[in-house]
């Protein structure tokens, strides 16, 4: 049975000519991230840094990044033709996620080739970059799955949650109480017990894409569905959590339930493009590290101004999938397409007044309201929802500001949303941030725009962006004559 791991994925990228080894000596302190920033802007390849200053002799010497920094690579991950359009990729992901694949449990695997416990644990052995100049140290957790286990159901949950190395055996994390591991943590707090945690670095890319998105259902099964092959799991050494047997590195540990153990985490350069502030937050004390021989560390740069980051190319596709699934579960008819971005755009075939408000209420009424999607725009057929200019022009022609801009006040929001007041973003105090949301209903308002005879029974005047077909043909034929 095959089990695509990070190495197989890198080989696939290499065979496509979309992979580059950086053999020049580079500094983990700011230099690596600036290289990645430039590669994002160029739309460049996946990168394996093989020669990192200070890591010539550590147990891990290499860093892999930007595996997913292009839509074509996301298609490759799914085994699709590289030029499959984002709209089609989303449809295929939705189909596959309807058939989750149960993982296969195995006794051991490559990740158990080396086991380090207790005093021998030293996180500084990992070639973790300092991603932004003002980051509070080296953020080890940027593009890895964090796995916890619900004490009631025994189910594994995988999420992507940032974390920084505080000392040889401590990782400070941003835990939002409303996220799945936050809910699990509150159960451990009620029991007065430390929560076991496992951080998984370097594996099949589908796992990170699913873990970084608010999917409904067990992430291992859904990642299996995306790659169309079950994930093979082994048990951790110091807890019952299960992790991929072919992962590069797994860091195991425990999070104390006692807030007096919290330490300062942050600032960190976030996906918003701004530094998230420092606050006292939970800490994971590391109990064990297991790793393959010559393990490859995995991380990713977020918070860039230009270019396509890995997260934009991969996780935002998944956000479209997740939001569309919510509308499907709520049985809202007429949804044609969903595109997540700074504005979440939904294309519908409108069949009743109030449809757009129902869509916004369903999305923000879901547990995912705490994700940074505070603007939803609903449009009808004929609008390219992945084109910001088309959205702006639709706003101009369809929106009556007094009726169609609807604010949903005091909702659950994202603590990394810097438009919110500093105090309203205190995630441990409020459980989530407090945010207002905006719906832009850019569908035709049937009350304001009844069908009109002079427009052939349509609600809007015909658009005027064309000539008669015979004139278009004539101009095509004579084009050279005009000397233009």
Ligand X SMILES: Cc1cc2nc3c(=O)[nH]c(=O)nc-3n(C[C@H](O)[C@H](O)[C@H](O)COP(=O)(O)O)c2cc1C
Nearest by Cα to 205 from 1, 4, 2: 4
161 binds ligand X (CB under 6 A): yes
226 binds ligand X (CB under 6 A): no
Q: Which of residues 441-470 bind ligand X (CB under 6 A)?
A: none
45 binds ligand X (CB under 6 A): no
The reply to whether omega before 312 is within 30° of 0 (cis) is no
239 binds ligand X (CB under 6 A): no
> Taking contact as CB under 6 A, which single stretch among the options 43-51, 73-81, 179-187, 225-233 is the one that binds ligand X?
179-187
Name the minimum Å distance from CB 216 to ligand X: 9
d(CA 329, CA 281): 35
- Displacement of CA 484 from its chain's centroid (Å): 47
- Comparing CB distances to ligand X, the nearer of 81 and 217 is 217
Near ligand X by CB under 6 A: residue from 206, 213, 316, 317? 213
Contacts of 66 (CB under 8 A, 6+ apart): 36, 39, 40, 44, 45, 46, 47, 300, 310
47 binds ligand X (CB under 6 A): no
- φ, ψ at 385 (rounded to 5°): -75, -5
Q: Which two tokens stand for residue 269?
A: 């350069």
d(CA 424, CA 418): 10
157 binds ligand X (CB under 6 A): yes
Name the minimum Å distance from CB 372 to ligand X: 9
> Taking contact as CB under 6 A, which single stretch among the options 59-67, 112-120, 159-167, 430-438 is the one that binds ligand X?
159-167
| Residue corresponding to tokens 């010539």 | 56
In what helix (H) or strand (E) does residue 21 lie, and over which residues does it extend?
strand 19-22
304 binds ligand X (CB under 6 A): no
User: How many chain residues bind ligand X (CB under 6 A)?
Assistant: 18
Near ligand X by CB under 6 A: residue from 5, 18, 135, 180? 180
Near ligand X by CB under 6 A: residue from 6, 48, 313, 315? 315
Near ligand X by CB under 6 A: residue from 289, 311, 343, 432? 311
Name the minimum Å distance from CB 449 to ligand X: 39
d(CA 96, CA 93): 5
Pick left, alpha or beta for residue 386 (phi over 0 → left; psi -120 to 50 → alpha; otherwise beta): alpha
Q: Which two tokens stand for residue 322?
A: 């997740």
Query: Nearest 5°: CA angle at 205, between 46 and 172?
Result: 95
- Comparing CB distances to ligand X, the nearer of 194 and 212 is 212
> Taking contact as CB under 6 A, which single stretch among the options 92-100, 154-162, 164-172, 341-349 is the one that binds ligand X?
154-162
309 binds ligand X (CB under 6 A): no
Query: Nearest 5°: CA angle at 145, between 129 and 369?
Result: 105
- Find out whether 390 and 384 touch, Cβ atoms under 8 Å: yes
Residues that bind ligand X (CB under 6 A): 142-143, 157, 159-162, 174, 176, 179-181, 212-214, 302, 311, 315
């Amino acid at each position: 049975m095959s089990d695509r791991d990070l190495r197989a994925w890198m080989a696939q990228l290499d065979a496509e000519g979309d992979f580059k080894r950086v053999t020049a000596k580079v500094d983990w302190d700011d230099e690596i991230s600036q290289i990645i920033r430039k590669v994002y802007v160029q739309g460049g390849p996946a990168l394996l840094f093989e020669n990192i200053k200070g890591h010539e002799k550590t147990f891990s010497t290499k860093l892999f990044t930007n595996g997913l920094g292009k839509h074509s690579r996301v298609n490759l991950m799914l085994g699709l033709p590289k030029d499959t359009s984002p709209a089609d990729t989303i449809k295929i992901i939705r189909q596959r996620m309807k058939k989750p694949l149960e993982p296969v449990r195995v006794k051991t695997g490559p990740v158990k080739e080396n086991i380090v416990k207790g005093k021998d644990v030293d996180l500084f052995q990992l070639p973790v970059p300092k991603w932004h100049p003002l980051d509070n140290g080296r953020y080890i957790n940027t593009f890895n799955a964090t796995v916890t286990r619900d004490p009631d159901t025994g189910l594994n949950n995988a999420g992507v949650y940032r974390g920084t190395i505080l000392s040889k055996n401590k990782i400070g994390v941003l835990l939002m109480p409303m996220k799945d591991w936050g809910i699990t943590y509150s159960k451990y707090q009620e029991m007065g017990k430390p929560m076991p945690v496992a951080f998984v670095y370097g594996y099949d890319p589908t796992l990170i894409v699913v873990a970084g998105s608010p999917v409904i259902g067990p992430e291992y099964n859904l990642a299996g569905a995306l790659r169309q092959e079950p994930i093979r799991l082994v048990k951790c050494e110091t807890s019952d959590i299960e992790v991929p047997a072919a992962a590069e590195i797994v860091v195991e540990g425990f999070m104390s339930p006692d807030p007096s153990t919290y330490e300062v985490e942050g600032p960190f350069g976030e996906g918003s493009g701004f530094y998230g502030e420092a606050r006292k937050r939970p800490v994971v004390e590391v109990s064990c590290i297991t790793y393959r021989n010559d393990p490859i560390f995995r991380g990713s740069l977020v918070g860039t101004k230009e270019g396509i980051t890995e997260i934009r190319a991969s996780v935002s596709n998944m956000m479209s999938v997740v939001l569309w699934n919510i509308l499907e579960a709520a049985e809202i008819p007429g949804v044609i397409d969903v595109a997540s971005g700074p504005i979440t755009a939904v294309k519908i075939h409108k069949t009743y007044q109030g449809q757009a408000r129902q869509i916004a209420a369903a999305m923000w009424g879901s547990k995912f309201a705490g994700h940074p999607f505070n603007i939803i725009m609903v449009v009808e057929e004929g609008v390219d929802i992945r084109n910001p200019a088309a959205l702006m022009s639709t706003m101009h022609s369809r929106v009556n500001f007094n009726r169609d801009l609807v604010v949903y006040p005091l909702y659950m929001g994202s603590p990394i949303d810097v438009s919110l007041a500093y105090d309203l973003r205190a995630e441990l105090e409020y459980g989530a941030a407090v945010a207002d949301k905006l719906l832009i209903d850019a569908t035709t308002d049937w009350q304001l725009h009844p069908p009109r005879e002079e427009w052939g029974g349509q609600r809007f005047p015909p658009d005027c962006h064309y000539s008669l077909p015979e004139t278009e043909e004539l101009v095509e034929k004579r084009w050279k004559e005009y000397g233009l």
